[in-house]
Amino acid sequence: MSSTQPTEREQVILAATTAATAHPNWVTSDMVDALMGGHGQLNIATFTVADILVSELKRGADNKLRLSNAPSQGIDELLGKLIKGALAAGAMPANAALISAVMLYLTGTRAQIGVPAGNRKLGATARMIAGVDRCGVAAIPTSKKNNKVSGFPAVAALYEAMRKGELSPLSGYDLPISGGPLIGHGALGEDIIFPIMADKGARVATKAMMDAFAGGGMKPHAFNCAVIGAAAILEIMHPDAAVAEEYGAYERVNTAYLAGKAAAETAGLPEKIHVLLTGQEYSTAQLIGDLGLIFKDIGGPSVIGIMAVDEMMGIFTPDFAGHAGPVNPPLGHISTDAVIAMKLWLEEGATQESVSDALRKRREEFLFDPEISMISMNIIAKKAAQLRRGPVSDAMILASEPVLAKALYRRAAKAYDDLKAGKELGQIVRELDDERKHKVERNVGAFFSRMMNKSISLSLTHIGPGARRTNSRLAKEWMAFDTHLDVEVTVDGVTTKLEHLSDRVLPDLAQGKRKELTEAFMLSVPLVSELMFSSSVSLNVTVPAAVAVAMGRMEVGEAAKVAQKAGYITCGIPGADVNAEHAARAAKNFMGVQVV
């Protein structure tokens, strides 16, 4: 029997591509193992909960919050599994309760049912199962927008309004009775007091949150402000009372809905939103009101717990939260696709192939760098699968693995051919980073050209470290810590140069100076953001280094250092050389193995 021996080129390419993906950590500079312990972000917990939810619901688990005269019901068991999974993925109990409750809500579970005995609320049930103490809305943080605030401004504004007699239409001093069914289930409460308090209170609280954001040096985040605004008033008033029929159908519209509606309007959110890919329609008023109910009861989540919810909301269009694209975020923020995948799985007739195809098509058509975005998805899905695999992580791996395979081969083939032709490793890595830069420039320009019906092109003429700091070695060596950015933006033939975009142009614009640069600056933001996040995928460094070592051209440590230094975009933060060393050493071992 004859056998065909592989050529050196085939062996080297196979060695480098196999070695580079022997471990998902080896193609990123992000600390993805830390994510599995809940450090920095909770996207692995979101993946885990999504996998459990789809698995359980597909086998018939009950996700309904029912009016039941029983100490427990089917949903309690499901919530317990979700919370246990989130805890295993590094979420602290309050964050595990929050993630589980919101994800369950997104499958169609009600936020509340029943009045008064037997009353069940999704947030409270999750908190009780997780064993978490309740805390007030004042202590709940917003997600991090560089800075952050808590719900305290909303609560403080409400209590100030109450103290001044500006919240309720009637003063309690004038009421003939205090509490009870005559008020709570009668015209005085349902028709007069509750609707006005829900509306006015949500507006006061939401506006206070927006003002606090602005005062804290942040652009007000509409979703965060609205949810905490709704939660703050629902914490004070009857949170699920019926209201007069003029506001909507009995048993369908309640104070939570009215609070959500007022909060959403105050924050400037759209009336209706739709789930990406499935098209499922949500009432924004209902969503904000229901999330307000969950938030007020959930306990004391931390910033990254709220950030996890923020990422979940990226499933909606028009977008008002999360990171669904077109910019590809750092790996810690990749969780929106897990929620989209969960929603796709719950569609009638869904299969692993239909879910993965839809995920891949969306990223190919919408993201500024589809290849890198798919590899980012692949890395996080594989890390989640290391903890617990399921239909969501499986579909995401199936969607992204072909893209990863082609990306690996293309880089390995180029590195081998170019090294054979006499090019240096550093030159090859720089060319790969140049290719990525030019691709993103083209795609961002095309995106805005379509959106604005103009001819728009962008060119990043300089990207590197050391924009302004003089006494920091870290800032001088690594682009992400003190980024020097020069951009040229051309709109219908007119070019605007933005020099020192981050350290000079942006501070000037924020202080009301050089306003003629505003349009060009805003057009440049997606371009520079995409490239500043580039360290999330380090294929341009890992693969060429592995090829150079497999060919015997360089030693492991030298190849990793040279490749990292040349990766002027890929290596915005330290760490690529360490993982490139692992892959290069594996490639070298591959070349030395003889199997008969």
pLDDT for 83: 98
pLDDT for 98: 98
Cα angle 411, 360, 28; round to 5: 45
Count CA within 13 A, CB hemisphere, residue 235. 30
* Structure confidence by residue, pLDDT tens digits, 313-323: 999 998 888 88
Q: Which two tokens stand for residue 189?
A: 């409460």
CA dist 257 and 271 (Å) reads 12
Q: Which of 52, 132, 58 is nearest to 84 (CA)?
A: 52
30's CB contacts (< 8 A; 6+ apart) are: 330, 331, 332, 535, 536, 575
pLDDT bracket for residue 3 (50, 70, 90)? low
471's CB contacts (< 8 A; 6+ apart) are: none
Q: Please report the DSSP string for 434-466 in residue order.
A: HHHHHHHHHHHHHHHHHHHTS-EEEEEEEEES-
CA dist 34 and 303 (Å) reads 17
pLDDT bracket for residue 429 (50, 70, 90)? very high
pLDDT bracket for residue 4 (50, 70, 90)? confident
CA dist 457 and 382 (Å) reads 36
CA dist 434 and 94 (Å) reads 45
Q: Is the pLDDT of residue 410 over 80?
A: yes
Average pLDDT over residues 523-551: 96
CA dist 121 and 123 (Å) reads 6
CA dist 48 and 81 (Å) reads 10
Q: Which of 144, 140, 96, 98 is nearest to 123 (CA)?
A: 98
Rg (CA), the chain: 27
Average pLDDT over residues 434-463: 97
Count CA within 13 A, CB hemisphere, residue 430. 10
Tell me how far apart the 2 most distant CA atoms of the chain are, in Å.
Answer: 102
pLDDT bracket for residue 67 (50, 70, 90)? confident
Q: Is the pLDDT of residue 406 over 70?
A: yes
Query: What 3-state class would DSSP assign to 299?
Result: coil
pLDDT for 595: 54
Q: Which of 384, 388, 572, 412 is nearest to 478 (CA)?
A: 572
Return the DSSP state at 138: G
Q: Which of 339, 363, 92, 135 is nearest to 232 (CA)?
A: 135
8's CB contacts (< 8 A; 6+ apart) are: 551
Higher pLDDT, residue 56 or 116: 56
Task: Count the neighbouring beta carbons within 10 Å of the beta carbon of residue 145.
Answer: 17
Q: Please report the DSSP string for 407-440 in residue order.
A: HHHHHHHHHHHHHHTT--HHHHHHHHHHHHHHHH
Asked if residues 378 and 25 have their Cβ atoms less than 8 Å apart, the reply is no
Q: Please report the DSSP string for 251-287 in residue order.
A: TTSBHHHHHHHHHHHHHT--SEEEETTT--EEEHHHH
Residue 114: phi, psi to the nearest 5?
90, 140
CA dist 566 and 430 (Å) reads 6
Judge if the upstream peptide bond of residue 326 is cis by omega within 30 degrees of 0: yes
* Structure confidence by residue, pLDDT tens digits, 194-244: 999 999 999 999 999 999 999 999 999 999 999 999 999 999 999 989 899
pLDDT for 249: 84
Q: Is the pLDDT of residue 144 over 50?
A: yes
pLDDT for 1: 42
Domain boundaries, the chain: 1-30+410-596, 43-130, 137-297, 326-409
Q: E strands, 5-143, where?
A: 112-113, 120-121
* Structure confidence by residue, pLDDT tens digits, 233-259: 999 999 989 899 998 888 789 999 999
Handedness of CA 575, 577, 580, 584 (dihedral sign): negative
**Type and span of the H or E element at 588:** helix 576-592
- CA 19 from chain center: how many Å? 29
Task: Count the neighbouring beta carbons within 10 Å of the beta carbon of residue 402.
Answer: 13
Query: What 3-state class would DSSP assign to 193?
Result: helix
CA dist 2 and 549 (Å) reads 30
Query: What 3-state class would DSSP assign to 382?
Result: helix
CA dist 257 and 251 (Å) reads 11
CA dist 251 and 219 (Å) reads 37
Judge if the upstream peptide bond of residue 318 is cis by omega within 30 degrees of 0: yes
Q: Which of 188, 168, 166 is nearest to 176 (CA)?
A: 188
Task: Count the neighbouring beta carbons within 10 Å of the beta carbon of residue 317.
Answer: 14
Q: Is the pLDDT of residue 152 over 90?
A: yes
CB burial string 289-301: b at 16+ within 10 A, e below:
bbbbbbbbbbbbb
pLDDT bracket for residue 342 (50, 70, 90)? very high
* Structure confidence by residue, pLDDT tens digits, 558-581: 999 999 999 999 999 999 999 999
Q: Which of 375, 374, 352, 379 is nearest to 364 (CA)?
A: 374
